[in-house]
Amino acid sequence: MKGPIALGMTITEKLLARAAGVPHARPGEILTVDVSWCMTNDATTHISIDMFNARLKERGIHAPERTVFVIDHNVPSESPTTTATQNKMRAFAREHGIPLHDGEGVCHQLILEEYAKPGDVVFGADSHTLTAGAVGAFAAGVGSTDFVAAMVTGQTWVMVPPTIRIDVEGTLPEGVFAKDVVLHMIGDLGADGATYKAIEWGGPGVQALNTEQRATLVNMGVEAGAKSSVVEPDEETLRYLREKRGADVDTGELLASDPDCVYERRLTYDLSTLEPVVAYPHNVDNIAPVTAYEGTAVTTGFVGSCNSGRIEDLRIAAGVLRGRKVLPEVKLIVAPASKSVYMQALKEGLMDVFLESGAMVVNSNCSVCFGNQGAIGEGDVLISTGTRNFPGRSGSQKGEIFLASPATVAATCVGGYITDPREFV
Amino acid sequence: MGKIWKFGDDVDTDQIIATQYLLLPGVDDMKGHTFEGLRPEFAGGFAPGDIIVAGKNFGCGSSREQAPRVIKALGAAAVIAPTFARIFYRNSINIGLPVVMSAEASAAAVEGEPIEVDLEQGTITTAGSSFAFPRYPDHVLDIVRAGGLIEHLLATG
């Protein structure tokens, strides 16, 4: 057969077609899709609650048990104003029977650990919602109004995006990590290179990564402007879901792109050729080898965030810090992405390593990446595993932020200047 | 007719409204801090009817809906840029803040000069020239015509 109908679909097109109840989905079409999970956090939920109470109370909530509230951005609260805003969220969740995670971790990590499954559609009032693509869900960030509409109707509209396929081959060299891979990708695509588009990660190099590493890859797709980012679910996905949720977990539907699907663009990475990189101030697509900035003095380090605060990341950082000390002039802050990551790190003795090295370990929250803890001052230089390096993102507009892998951050905090982690592993 | 406030490429939502103001009770409490780090004179000097004209990828980064909301609360008639980040664009449509894509108008606009946007006709007039911009897709136009997503939701059941 000839013509567009005969063409296969990408996994993203299949996910949206399935959620819209139609046989095919093509880029550019606008579909109304059923939402599996809608998530919101304390940075914006008060706005959604005000809208609901003012205009939509009588409509009610479509499925409270499929709505997830997370207090993770400013927790524990730093002021009575913040507490009042969060209390509004707590009361609303209680009144409507909405699951509430209060200080249990960063929202995207909790969605990954407890909620999203292959085949799901996740809309969250946070730009890094696409993290759930790591288990084969369609996941996109929206604002407060879109969130409240999805919470009330159980549906939302979406324009089917064209897909950029990223084929990954080879294995990571010593000292190079998933964070380096995603930074390379953002540097190549640019800050708006994937705007309105879906990113699909695949190939043997991705199949060999675990779900935590895959989450690091998909999470920062929004830094290239992407609507969503996904990895085709596989045996590893099932292993992850069973480990987190038990043997009888609902593993959803494992979709895959058809061989004859249409990609708008393809990029290929051979992992074995990559080197450690940083995103230098003040844009995420400013990518350079770590060696180009080697010797730059730093004052603060951060290991954490929805991008790189998982157990895998803590193991990498602890691997560098074991038996070493953070330079006394440098403040290194570690924030495990969730309570379960925190407890696992305790079990593995990683917290001993951090504390003995001189790092500060804080509770599971967005922390330095959101700027609510460890705010940098004028003239400070932060090296962070976070998601963004915009001016003021983590405190003063007159500070500087470098983004790097947990190994690069840890190695840098030992010497007090940007350091190639390959010297330490 | 409003005055042009120009911005460069890749202005992110952290620059529009900084993190430390997001949990203030309402948008009216936040709007005085709009573009505080980037242009401290902005919130005090911006008059209702004025228009922001920016470079590419305006509104990238965080999904915070506070960003288009503070711009709307200050009375912006529109935001013009060659391209927008998708969450900011969608949020703006949802709350009834006109967002218009025009690379030509963005290039021609001069800081402080008058500018007019005619949403019905699809034209921007500034610096003695008129620039046409593409209309929204039908589904988006329905939301805009309703006055935002909540109005659209209430009207369509």
Contact (CB<8Å) B63/A143? yes
Instruction: Please give the ipTM for the structure prediction.
Output: 0.94
How near does any CA of chain B get to the CA of A171, in Å? Answer: 30
Contact (CB<8Å) B63/A393? no
* Domain assignment of residue A250, yes or no: no
Contact (CB<8Å) B65/A145? yes
In this complex, how many residue pairs, one in chain A and one in chain B, have their CB atoms less than 8 Å apart? 126
* Domain assignment of residue A257, yes or no: no
Give A44's contacts in chain B (Cβ within 8 Å): 22, 63-66
Total domain count, chain A: 2
pLDDT tens track for B68-108: 999 999 999 999 999 999 999 999 999 999 999 999 999 99
Q: Over the range A245-255, which residues count as b (16 or more CB within 10 Å of their CB) and which as e?
A: eeeeeebbebb
Q: Which of A269, A304, A333 is the last residue of a domain?
A: A269
Residues A106 and A184 in one domain: yes
A residues 264..323 contacting B (CB < 8 A): 283
A residues 315..374 contacting B (CB < 8 A): 370-372
What is the mean pLDDT of the segment spanning A195-208? 97
Residues A321 and A389 in one domain: yes
Domain that holds residue A96: 11-245+263-269
Contact (CB<8Å) B137/A30? yes
Distance of CA B100 to the CA centre of its chain: 8
User: What was the pLDDT predicted at B144?
Assistant: 85
DSSP letters spanning A120-160: -EEEESSGGGGGGGGGT-EEEE--HHHHHHHHHHSEEEEEP
A367 → chain B, closest CA residue: B19
Distance of CA B127 to the CA centre of its chain: 20
Residues A327 and A210 in one domain: no
SS3 readout for A191-237: CCCCCCCEEEEECHHHHCCCHHHHHHHHHHHHHHCCCEEEECCCHHH
Evaluate the CA torsion angle A26, A219, A72, A248 in order and state its sign: positive
* Domain assignment of residue A5, yes or no: no
Residues A288 and A176 in one domain: no
* Domain assignment of residue A170, yes or no: yes
Contact (CB<8Å) B63/A148? no
0.80 exceeded by the pTM?
yes
- Report long-range pairs for A395-400 (Cβ below 8 Å, ≥24 apart): A395/A371, A397/B37, A400/A281, A400/A282
pLDDT tens track for A305-335: 999 999 999 999 999 999 999 999 999 999 9
Residues A405 and A334 in one domain: yes
Residues A27 and A95 in one domain: yes
Residues A301 and A168 in one domain: no
* Domain assignment of residue A1, yes or no: no
Distance of CA A277 to the CA centre of its chain: 19
Residues A161 and A40 in one domain: yes
pLDDT tens track for A74-108: 999 999 999 999 999 999 999 999 999 999 999 99
**Is residue B134 very low, low, confident or very high in pLDDT (cuts 50, 70, 90)?**
confident
Residues A117 and A177 in one domain: yes
How near does any CA of chain B get to the CA of A67, in Å? Answer: 18
Residues A177 and A64 in one domain: yes
User: What was the pLDDT predicted at B136?
Assistant: 85
Query: For residue A107, which of A64, A146, A59, A139 has the smallest C-alpha distance?
Result: A139
* Domain assignment of residue A34, yes or no: yes
* Domain assignment of residue A315, yes or no: yes
Residues A241 and A367 in one domain: no
Please identify which residue in the block is written with the tokens 């006109």: B98
Give A141's contacts in chain B (Cβ within 8 Å): 63, 87
* Domain assignment of residue A293, yes or no: yes
> Which tokens is B33 given?
């801090």
Q: For the domain that residue A22 is a member of, what is the CATH number?
A: 3.30.499.10
Helix, strand, coil share of chain B (percent; to 5): 40, 20, 40
Residues A330 and A240 in one domain: no
